[in-house]
Amino acid sequence: GDGEGELVVSQYATARKHGREHFYDVIGNHDASGIDEPTQWWFKKWIDPTGENTEFSGVDNSKRPYPTAGNWEHYSFEVGNVVFLMLADRNDGGPPIGRGEFGGYPAGAISEETFEWWTRKVLENRDRIVITAHHHMIKETTVATGLNEGCDGGYHGRMPDGGAPGSSFIYWVGGQKDSGRIEDFLAQNDPAIDLWLGAHTHTHPDDTTGGRTHIERKWGANFVNVSAITRYHGQTNSIPMSRLFTFTEGSNEVRVQCYLHTSQYAPQGWYERSERTLKLRYSFEMPQA
């Protein structure tokens, strides 16, 4: 509710080096509005990536270092020759796609409008570095993203009236379950993007369920499950971690480092075993001054 919204805004305000406008957010399954609530009202009011409710969220799009274009459900921003495409998870509106009376149904979803917007933006930016961010990963890309692996592996709750087989990836596209439309688009346009970032499946950094790690390459693109920063949601699997992506002017490589925020799994700090260097389609160009 609003109390949690005020708390989130106050938490952003504690950042020491970055203002509110330096954070770019996407909706996750636990942010979803309930069956009888206005669509995604909480996210629109308090997180507000396009700055439409500045009075509450504190986001003023004109103050962003890289202004957003789009709406709360799908928006983009550009950093030099990098285009970020930010997609909302749509676990709202009731079962089987949306959440019921409690919790956040785990199977990922995007609307038809968002799918069409995303494919159009990808094709419009073939000459640029394209990074897509969604709360979920894509089927059979990273750890535990195969059919049934999310629930069977204990990563996600099993909702009988939801899409349990697809609990760890984007299962619904435009209301169609397990259609393969995203995967087919990426295969047909290989390479279509450079990076896909997600974080839905909470686990330790060395997990290889399904024969996949947190960072994999498929369809000419890099898929990174940055995993969860939380320690208490899904406590059996949650090892708080973050990923730092370092781009270098004139280089087509990006350094990906893993930082452990606690010593539950390994000593707090940079976890060198998880560091990777990924190839991009193009060399990075810094924004013009």
Does residue 276 or residue 235 have the better pLDDT?
Answer: 276
Question: Does 50 score more than 70 pLDDT?
Answer: yes
- The mean pLDDT of the chain is 93
Give φ, ψ of 99 to 5 degrees. -65, 155
Question: Does 3 score more than 80 pLDDT?
Answer: yes
Q: Please give the DSSP secondary-structure letter assigned to residue 54.
A: H
pLDDT digits (tens, 9 = 90+) for 217-274: 999 999 999 978 888 877 677 899 999 999 999 999 999 999 999 999 999 999 999 9
Strands 276-279 and 82-87: unpaired
| Cross-strand partners of 82 | 79, 129
Q: How many whole angstroms separate alpha carbon 196 and alpha carbon 132?
A: 5
Of the options 3.40.630.10, 1.10.600.10, 3.60.9.10, 3.30.750.180, the CATH number for the domain spanning 2-279: 3.30.750.180
pLDDT digits (tens, 9 = 90+) for 126-184: 999 999 999 999 999 999 999 999 988 888 888 777 778 888 999 999 999 999 999 99
For residue 289, name the pLDDT band (cuts at 50, 70, 90): confident
- The amino acid at 97: I
Question: Does 102 score more than 70 pLDDT?
Answer: no
Does residue 235 sit in helix, strand or coil? coil
* Alpha-carbon distance values, 66 to 84, 130, 135, 182, 240 (Å): 10, 15, 21, 27, 28
What does the pLDDT read at residue 33?
A: 86
Tell me the domain boundaries of the chain.
2-279
Q: How many whole angstroms separate alpha carbon 166 and alpha carbon 177?
A: 8
Q: What is the value of pTM for the model shown?
A: 0.95
Q: Which of 30-39, 84-93, 191-200 has the lowest mean pLDDT?
A: 30-39
Residue with tokens 């495409």: 85
Three-class secondary structure assignment of the chain: CHHHHHHHHHHHCCCCCCCHHHCCCCCCHHHCCCCCCCCCHHHHHHHCCCCCCHHHHCCCHHHCCCCCEECCCEEEEEECCEEEEEECCCCCCCCCCCCCCCCCCCCEEECHHHHHHHHHHHHHCCCCEEEEECCCECCCCCCCCCCCHHHHCCCCCCCCCCCHHHCCEEEEECCEECCCHHHHHHHHCCCCCCEEEECCCCCCCCCCHHHCCCEEEECCEEEEECCCCCCCCCCCCCCCEEEEEEECECCCEEEEEEEECCCCCCCCEECHHHCEEEECCCCECCCCC
Question: Does 103 score more than 80 pLDDT?
Answer: no
